[in-house]
Structure 1
């Protein structure tokens, strides 16, 4: 049966990283099953891999046209695989597809990350005296695990990434075949041709979107993220919120765009479309002593594309916070709750060399890569940096905390779009302090507002974003509370956005 991918893109390494593909000129079950075992163990949570039989390899690249496999060979290989799959411990059954490439038949084996790792396999699967070992991928090779790797692999037992887990509260009836069909059409998968001949359960099983025995089949979370009309129903606040601040971060004037929700790929595309229409601008600049003018963007589209796609790819779908995009006069800030893996140091972001130890959403990434919405492993940050450099833009600023609870990316506007308007700083009017008890403040304004006031009293120069991190609520909630207190005359800010000071007109008992 066909696979839910574009096989030509797979063979040429356009949608899947090269270390996740292994080419075999012919059928040799020993090394092939060691690689299947390694992919199934998915040590780095990158989504398993593919073994392509019938295509030789040279320096990591496929040799075309294919060597191919005969009809009789294909038939005997498939029968043999049924037996060999049971020799993996625990039993593991990869998906397979026979494909015709340049007039030759090849066999594509999809060895997805298994649900019951760790897996072990005999060193030589056809040997009489079978010696079992665990295998993992190291670069583009399948290797026996070391002692430390074995301990770590065993510790991963039962630790399936969230997007690949079954959702036992939801029926597979919730999955939209219209969205599945649209996806298969976009990626030019041959599975689209077989779709009408399959039951819904058969189709979703072939796409590895279901889990459980036949009598209790439930969709995996990634199926709900990609192929339901409203994923927010299952993952609250799985949406994008866009807010414009025309007068700066501390101002109480802001404009909220309608929330963007829906399947993850739709959210990415609709968010980028909104930014294209409402934010992006291009300017032609004359260069002294040069005949040709240059064109620059206030924000390069490619950088925004990478930031938005990765925010929705890597977000923590168990955290009830939206992806926030804040648009100021001088920058765009994207806030993603559920920060980067703890193995990544912030200094690596600044250097542009980020290699995560493990991926949070391994299956979601594969779907987005097939749709050309994200690129290969660890290419996001370098792509952002390169796009900014080529546009002549200032460097992006990356922020996270020690607990990795959030990840901020700020892109400064290109200097050619900065206005030369002067910042007017008005002196705060002299007012008498309003004396209330702490309980009266909490009753009138709420617990969160009181915590905000405590933070401002301790540090009058604190920003709304810093307050949000300090007291553990969203930045939007902080801004709404600040706006309410300013309206009541309890609070003012004096000075510019970044260097201003909060003036609190409330005083209270301790």
Structure 2
């Protein structure tokens, strides 16, 4: 019932932490990153703590600190507030399935930056799509960075640090799933998070974290993060993000960021040819006559390490296009696929199978079959 009584765990005095548990360097680093740095030169730890409202104003010694102070400025807040960390679990299929886990510890605002740095370096990828007849290229990300930074900030600011469970981020080739083990504070419901983009009436689980994240520039304005994430998904051409719905008694907020479909198509085709087809003559068939060359071509394609659908489509392209000079748009017309899929077919036919060659003097991205 605390949710209905304007109770905030972050606002109350910690039962087992004092000013000594806060790291002075982390406090100074925070202040340096905010507009308060100009008025705090020369202040000592106790003075800074009082200025930032970290301590109990009724404590004559000025030593007792609030829970949000532990979350923001303790070097290891999880030692005082259990599970005040974020766990990132990756589940990569690829050629061999591999699951790994990484835990991000420390002050929660530093966790935020470390999580984004890790995801940006290890998870995010960009695909450049070349369009026939267009001098410019189009870029798509597997997952838009803006959506991730908004939703990770949202997860930290709205996490219930009293419930004894960490924030968890699940990453696979298909999606990123960010999980808090608490629901939005009333009057908001999970359905509102799916249906709306602005939440001017939303109450924060941790109002002090929200205010300090805004001072750091992590949050631009209150109630807009989910809307920014949704717009980033749309701009990237990705499917809509969505919040999972559970039974009424399940205390979970779980947001899913689906992978961009064009990027997913590219990866599927690329992975199907991970073991490149060997460029060698098919046993018992020598190129020469048209009949033998056609048989040689089909045998070469059928022996490649691609899916059956890709093999059939390559043979179809050869049968329909024949000796024409072609580019992406011709493949799109023949197969009814996307531009990125067409680009991948050309890459595999040129680099892996070596059955097409670029044509000079006909514009960029033109090829012809050489078998």
What's the TM-score once normalised by structure 2's chain length? 0.66
Aligned counterpart in structure 1 of residue 259 of structure 2, from 389, 413, 423: 413
CA–CA distance in structure 1, aligned partners of residues 222 and 12 of structure 2 = 22
Partner of 1:294: 138
Q: By how many angstroms is 1:347 displaced?
A: 3.0
Partner of 2:21: 174
Aligned counterpart in structure 1 of residue 244 of structure 2, from 371, 381, 399: 399
CA–CA distance in structure 2, aligned partners of residues 238 and 400 of structure 1 = 25
Q: By how many angstroms is 1:423 displaced?
A: 12
1:29-428 mapped onto 2 (5 Å cutoff): 156=5, 159-190=6-37, 193-194=40-41, 196=42, 198-211=43-56, 212-215=58-61, 217-247=63-93, 253-355=97-199, 356-401=201-246, 402-403=248-249, 405-418=251-264, 419-420=267-268
Q: Residues 191 and 177 of structure 1: is their aligned pair in 2 closer, same or farther, counting only changes over 3 Å?
A: farther
Q: Residues 423 and 298 of structure 1: is their aligned pair in 2 closer, same or farther, counting only changes over 3 Å?
A: closer
For the 8 Å contact 1:342–1:404, the answer to whether it is kept is no
For the 8 Å contact 2:214–2:220, the answer to whether it is kept is yes
For the 8 Å contact 1:340–1:404, the answer to whether it is kept is no
Higher RCO (C-alpha under 8 Å, 6+ residues apart): 2
Deviation digits for residues 279-336 of structure 1 (CA, Å, limit 9, x no counterpart): 1011111224433111111111000001111111111101221111111121111111
Larger proportion of helix: 2
CA–CA distance in structure 2, aligned partners of residues 400 and 191 of structure 1 = 46
Query: Greater CA deviation, 233-242 or 402-411?
Result: 402-411
CA–CA distance in structure 2, aligned partners of residues 286 and 353 of structure 1 = 33
Deviation digits for residues 117-163 of structure 1 (CA, Å, limit 9, x no counterpart): xxxxxxxxxxxxxxxxxxxxxxxxxxxxxxxxxxxxxx95xx54111
For the 8 Å contact 2:91–2:98, the answer to whether it is kept is yes
Deviation digits for residues 55-98 of structure 1 (CA, Å, limit 9, x no counterpart): xxxxxxxxxxxxxxxxxxxxxxxxxxxxxxxxxxxxxxxxxxxx
CA–CA distance in structure 2, aligned partners of residues 341 and 284 of structure 1 = 41
Aligned length: 264
Q: By how many angstroms is 1:421 displaced?
A: 5.9
CA–CA distance in structure 2, aligned partners of residues 340 and 199 of structure 1 = 38
CA–CA distance in structure 2, aligned partners of residues 387 and 272 of structure 1 = 16
Give the SS at the match of 1:256.
strand
Q: By how many angstroms is 1:192 displaced?
A: 5.3
Q: Residues 346 and 168 of structure 1: is their aligned pair in 2 closer, same or farther, counting only changes over 3 Å?
A: closer
CA–CA distance in structure 2, aligned partners of residues 366 and 178 of structure 1 = 20
- Aligned-residue Cα RMSD (Å) equals 2.6
Q: By how many angstroms is 1:166 displaced?
A: 0.8
Gaps of 5+ in 1: 1-44, 46-154, 425-510
Give the SS at the match of 2:128.
strand
CA–CA distance in structure 2, aligned partners of residues 271 and 325 of structure 1 = 10
Q: By how many angstroms is 1:170 displaced?
A: 1.5
